Amino acid sequence: MASYLDFEKNIQQIDEDLANAKIKGDDEAVKILEKNLEKETQKVYKNLSDYQRLQLARHPDRPYALDYIQAILSDAYEIHGDRAFRDDPAIVCYAGYIGGKKVIVIGEQKGRGTKDKLHRNFGMPHPEGYRKALRVAKMAEKFDIPVLFLVDTPGAYPGVGAEERGQSEAIARNLYELSNLKTITIAVVIGEGGSGGALAIGVADKLAMMKNSVFSVISPEGCAAILWNDPSKIEAATKAMKVTADDLKNQGLIDDVIEEPISGAHRDKENAIKNLSDYVLKAIEELEQYDKRELAAIRMQKVFKFGAFSE
């Protein structure tokens, strides 16, 4: 069953009327309602606010890492474990082919349904998840295979056990190692890019964001609570923080914005997935022109620019 946000109520009503018209076999009503749906879709999604994009980034119907992996990766083989503690299901790793090219895909997976969400810890990785990601990335380096990172997390898990096992060290280690990785790397924020939990697999030669995704150092709710002692001021915080793909592209913090269908990835998964796949193949072809050591040097310079500013 589809989920709808507050600003999608008119679309929900048309969807329900359209479904009923199809059940009744009323072809004339179906045609009219389909036209109405197209107009309403254009009206609703053409001028989204920053807060509405944040809501879309968190939409429960939005494609997650495994949706992309299952759709674009052929001959897929899952790789488990960090070889030190356990296999963290909040991070998934696969080897396979995209458009005939060997690729390793590493993604943060939130889970669908109560059981799966609990199993995957709502997409919040433990340190062993980040260590698994690094182990697989180093394996890709050994065999000269491009790596695709799919970023989608509210943040790294802040629990006591995670801290005891070295959460901050695992994130810092990934930042260092991925900055120096001698193979092609591409990172795409497909939903939420939450703080260090996103950065830990977000260092790459190409950093892109889906149009309706967000990337921030803290959640807008957390920002509102700290600055104004009022989490309800989330809309003002979202706007002030500049968390959207277009904002970050304008600031030079990401390389590209991957367009989504006009109705968003949550309503048109197939075309959203195709857009990401096309982008990845094009990026790999572009990056193949560089020497791997040169790529690593350029990547490191990009990392050093994060947070730099001049008055």
**Residues 71, 278 contacting (CB under 8 angstroms):** no
Beta partners for 189?
151, 209
pLDDT value at residue 303: 82
Q: How far apart are CA 207 and CA 204, in angstroms?
A: 6
> What is residue 49's predicted lDDT score, i.e. its pLDDT?
93
Q: At what angle do helices 9-24 and 27-45 cross, to 10 degrees?
A: 160
How high is the pLDDT of residue 27? 87
Give the residue among 69, 24, 36 at the shortest CA–CA distance from 269: 69
Torsion of CA 57, 281, 283, 275, to 10 degrees: -30
Q: What is the DSSP letter of 78?
A: E
**Cα-flanking dihedrals φ and ψ of residue 194, to 5°?**
-95, 100
pLDDT for position 277 = 97
Domain ranges of the chain: 8-47, 52-305
Beta strand segments in 138-275, E = 147-153, 185-194, 206-210, 214-216, 256-258
pLDDT (0 to 100) of residue 310: 67
Which ranges of the chain have pLDDT less than 70? 308-311
pLDDT at 309: 66
**Pick from 88, 89, 197, 82: nearest CA to 151:** 197
Strand partners, 94: 78, 105
Task: For the full predicted model, state whether its pTM sits above 0.85.
Answer: yes
Residue type, 284: I
Question: Which residue in 108, 193, 124, 113 sits closest to 156, CA to CA?
Answer: 124
* Helix, coil or strand: residue 215: strand
Looking at the domain 52-305, which fold is it? 2-enoyl-CoA Hydratase; Chain A, domain 1 (3.90.226)
